[in-house]
Amino acid sequence: MATGSKEIVPSTAPKNQAIQTAAAPAKSLGELVHKLSPTIVKCLPQHLSPDRMSRVALSALRTTKHLAECTQASFGASLLGASLLGLEPNTPLQQCWLVPYYNKGVGAYECQLMIGYQGQLELARRSGKTASITASAVMRDDYFEYELGLEPRLVHRPNPNVDRDDINKLTHVYAVCRLKDKDADPIFVVLTRAQVERRRNRGANGPAWRSDPIPMALKTAVRALFPWIPKSSEMALAAALDERFDSGKTPVAVVGSVLDDAQGSTLETMGLDLTASDDDAPEEQANNDPAQESAEPARTEKVQAALTKARSSIGKRVDPPHDPVTGEVLDPDNDGR
């Protein structure tokens, strides 16, 4: 028996040591990127290599102020979220960004994943169902008119003498989708400046609106278009992650629910828990404006009827329903409550 016990002790001690080493959290986010490489490989689509994603993440850590100070769970979830979508973060492609926010509720920086409108357009094109998606800003002194109904049309002639980066001159934004079915009419959504501002105020209204207001307005138009075009699973995931960003929350809960049990177990051995939701955690971000209450008028029965009709006819109609009270485009995924 003594001999047997000698055989057991050497075989058990290294195993325990290995478990302790694996369970220890990474000493830095750079080290975490390397530890996440096997999971990133499983998440990425074929067009993006794991080495490229790791290099982009490490570059973002070096060049983005405070990003390296973020919690490991929030940074890991954001990186894996970008990997699941196959979008490069913090590059000139402007597909998505790993954004650090200081959360006073937890006393630390947290990373959020912000998907740019270029990333949304890329996901729509990649779905294989759309031929093209474009988004444009209408400025004061542009020629612009559009009609809905049975024969929708849109005409926009930009004025070359207008400063197209001046948010104060913005009057409308619109997004247009052409499907690969050549017999299908183009699908478009138009938002007024007031509608863009209302949607901005319903979200986190973060610093991106101050630094890049025109691209954020264009992104708002693309998001308004998404309910009316054929969706891929990636587009649905992007919408869920975008809602997290707009509400000022990390993507931990969404990414944790997408990863399968095997991948989740692998992350747990690194000490990275993506199963815990931060929905109930206190959130008070220092460099984010607080979300404001929507001043939108109460929905009438006609609005609810329009939403019900829209939900039952998605994919069949060309123009989305409009609020009979305010004229705002109605979102079939949101009943206003």
Q: Number of structural domains, the chain?
A: 2
Domain boundary, last residue among 244, 269, 294 = 269
Decide if 97 is inside a domain.
yes
Q: What local confidence, expressed as pLDDT, does residue 171 receive?
A: 96
Query: Per the domain annotation, does 301 fall within a domain?
Result: no
State the angle between helix axes of 261-269 and 2-23 in degrees (0 to 180), rounded to the nearest 10.
Answer: 100
239 and 224 in a common domain: no
| Cα atoms in the Cβ-side hemisphere of radius 13 Å centred on 206 | 21
What pLDDT is attached to residue 205? 66
Q: Are 159 and 298 in contact (CB under 8 A)?
A: no
Tell which of 178, 200, 229 closes a domain.
Answer: 229
Do 159 and 104 belong to one domain? no
Tell me what pLDDT residue 57 has: 95
Of 269, 284, 317, which one is at a domain's C-terminal end? Answer: 269
pLDDT tens track, the chain, 337 positions: 444 444 433 434 443 443 334 445 667 899 999 999 988 998 898 889 999 999 999 999 999 999 999 999 899 999 999 999 999 999 999 899 999 989 888 899 999 898 887 888 888 888 888 888 899 999 999 999 999 998 999 999 999 999 999 999 999 999 999 998 888 889 999 999 999 999 888 766 667 788 889 998 998 998 889 888 887 888 888 888 877 776 677 777 778 777 765 555 556 655 565 655 555 454 444 444 333 333 333 334 444 444 444 444 433 433 444 454 444 554 544 444 3
pLDDT of residue 64: 93
Which two three-digit tokens encode residue 58?
């490490």
Residue 221 and residue 245 share a domain = no
How do beta strands 130-139 and 170-179 pair? antiparallel
Q: What is the pLDDT of residues 214-244, one digit of tens each?
A: 998 998 998 889 888 887 888 888 888 877 7
Q: Specify whether 112 is located in the same domain as 245.
A: yes
Same domain, 225 and 247: no
Going through 196-336 in order, the beta strands assigned E by DSSP cover none
Q: Are residues 211 and 79 in the same domain?
A: no
Q: Residues 113, 239: one domain?
A: yes
- Work out whether strand 153-157 and strand 170-179 pair parallel, antiparallel, or are unpaired: unpaired
Q: Are residues 135 and 79 in the same domain?
A: no
Domain match, 247 and 223 both: no
Residue 273, pLDDT score: 59
One domain for residues 106 and 242: yes
Does any domain span residue 275? no
Instruction: Please report the pLDDT score of residue 47 as a whole number.
Output: 87
Same domain, 169 and 242: no
pTM: 0.63
pLDDT, tens digit, for every residue of 108-165? 999 989 888 788 888 888 888 888 889 999 999 999 999 999 899 999 999 999 999 9
304, part of any domain: no
Q: Supply the range of the domain harboring residue 174.
A: 129-229
Distance CA 204, CA 123 (A): 23
Q: Do residues 224 and 243 share a domain? A: no
How far apart, in whole angstroms, are the C-alpha atoms of residue 153 and residue 303? 24
